[in-house]
């Protein structure tokens, strides 16, 4: 039996695994994709908010020629960390159930259609924030030409593309799409630019709007998406704009299905699971949480740069737990 199973191989989950290994604990990480899957899903040319040293885990230096690393830099770094530290990853495996046993937990997952069961004394849920896109609940949202994640602009050269949203992910997508030769319109329900847009990005975007290379529409309420258009309204007036493709960049919500399955209580208003901030242990004895999921719906509260420290708290708690169990007659 393992000392711990970590679900989620993002930076915070990997950091927790390394902290446990450093304390002599046995641990494996199960990931539905591969390591740092969420970062892999970032747009190809994405630049981080944080400087490279604030993304470091496991005491491995993140050396980068630029102050703020890009997506590819981070992918290379975290792969190297896993290699150096010998972290055991179970990739492309989806956890479906976490259940209590007499001496710990049973984690049931599926890989390549095959059922897998593992046992551990404790479990860490580090499933990240980008599990489920926020839906607009409008007709046509699930059509095949509508996307909730943006990768790169090249496939959309010469196409009419509508970006829905007005924060960082929307602005980044619009800039890359225009750069790749798409005809871009951005529809945003706000009345002005969001203050959360990265300050070094907004001037570039505004210059595209002034030059009429990107059409920016404020106060837009999305009504419907059809095969050929996005239907929206402004002040009650119903309008339509041609759209070969649509990027609905409306934010994301953590997938807390496993939390409920394991019996973890979650505040319905904030989405924050119940946990002890000193140990990161949830209301379920032996189940811990790590990373941005601890912030609930507020993705701006916990990032890699502070979530990476959760692992040390968890590892220390597990060591104390094993010491208590060993000391018992």
CB 240 within 8 A of CB 207: no
Which band of pLDDT confidence, cut at 50, 70 and 90, is reported for residue 294? confident
Q: How many residues does the chain have?
A: 329
Which band of pLDDT confidence, cut at 50, 70 and 90, is reported for residue 257? confident
| pTM score of the predicted model | 0.84
CB 293 within 8 A of CB 273: yes
Please list, residue by residue across 210-227, b when 16 or more beta carbons sit within 10 angstroms of its beta carbon and e when fewer do.
Answer: eeeebebbeebebbbbee
Is the confidence at residue 288, as pLDDT, over 90? yes
Q: 30 has which bridge partners?
A: 7, 90
**Mean local confidence (pLDDT), 215-224:** 96
Which of these, 5, 2, 8, lies nearest to 307 by C-alpha position?
Answer: 8
- In this prediction, residue 81 carries a pLDDT of 97
Rg of the chain over CA atoms, in angstroms? 22
The per-residue pLDDT of the chain, averaged, comes to 91
Which domains are delineated in the chain? 2-131+254-327 (3.50.50.60), 134-248 (3.50.50.60)
Instruction: Read off φ and ψ for residue 94, nearest 5 degrees.
Output: -105, 120
Which band of pLDDT confidence, cut at 50, 70 and 90, is reported for residue 328? low
Pairing of strands 146-147, 89-90: unpaired
pLDDT digits (tens, 9 = 90+) for 65-114: 888 899 999 999 999 999 999 999 999 999 999 999 998 999 999 999 99
The residue whose two tokens read 């203050």 is 195
Mean pLDDT: which of 17-26, 52-61, 95-104, 192-201 is highest? 17-26
Pairing of strands 160-164, 146-147: unpaired
Is the confidence at residue 219, as pLDDT, over 90? yes
CA distances from 233 to 97, 150, 220, 324 (A): 43, 25, 6, 63
pLDDT digits (tens, 9 = 90+) for 119-157: 999 999 998 776 678 889 999 999 999 999 999 999 999
Cα–Cα distance for residue pair 256/36, rounded to 1 Å: 18
Higher pLDDT, 130 or 116: 116
- In this prediction, residue 329 carries a pLDDT of 59
- In this prediction, residue 300 carries a pLDDT of 61
- CB atoms closer than 10 angstroms to residue 247: 24
Cα–Cα distance for residue pair 26/43, rounded to 1 Å: 35
- In this prediction, residue 302 carries a pLDDT of 59
């Amino acid at each position: 039996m393992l000392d711990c199973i970590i679900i989620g191989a993002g930076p915070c989950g990997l950091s927790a695994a390394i902290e446990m290994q450093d304390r002599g604990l046995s641990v494996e990480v199960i990931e539905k994709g591969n390591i740092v899957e969420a970062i892999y899903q970032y747009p190809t040319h994405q630049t981080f908010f944080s400087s490279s040293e604030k993304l470091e885990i496991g005491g491995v230096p993140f050396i980068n020629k630029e102050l703020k690393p890009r997506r590819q830099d981070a992918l290379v770094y975290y792969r190297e960390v896993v290699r150096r530290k010998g972290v055991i990853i179970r990739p492309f495996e989806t956890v479906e159930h976490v259940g209590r046993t007499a001496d710990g937990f049973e984690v049931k997952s599926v890989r390549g259609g095959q059922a897998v069961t593992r046992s551990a004394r404790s479990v860490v849920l580090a499933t990240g924030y980008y599990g489920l896109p926020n839906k607009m609940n409008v007709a046509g949202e699930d059509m095949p030409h509508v996307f909730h994640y943006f990768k790169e602009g090249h496939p959309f050269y010469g196409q009419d593309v509508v970006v829905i949203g007005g924060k960082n992910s929307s602005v980044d997508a619009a800039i890359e799409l225009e750069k790749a030769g798409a005809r871009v319109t951005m529809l945003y329900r706000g009345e002005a630019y969001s203050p959360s847009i990265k300050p070094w990005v907004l001037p570039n975007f505004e210059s595209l709007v002034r030059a009429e290379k990107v059409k920016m529409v404020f106060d837009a309420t999305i009504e419907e998406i059809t095969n050929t258009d996005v239907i929206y309204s402004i002040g009650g007036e119903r309008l339509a704009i041609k759209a070969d493709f649509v990027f609905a960049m409306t934010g994301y919500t953590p997938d807390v299905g496993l939390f409920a399955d394991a019996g973890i209580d979650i505040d319905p208003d904030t989405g924050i699971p119940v946990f002890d901030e000193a140990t990161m242990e949830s209301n379920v004895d032996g189940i811990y949480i790590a990373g941005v999921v601890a912030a609930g719906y507020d993705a701006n509260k916990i990032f890699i740069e502070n979530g990476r420290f959760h692992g040390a708290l968890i590892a220390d708690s597990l060591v104390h737990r094993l010491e208590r169990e060993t000391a018992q007659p």
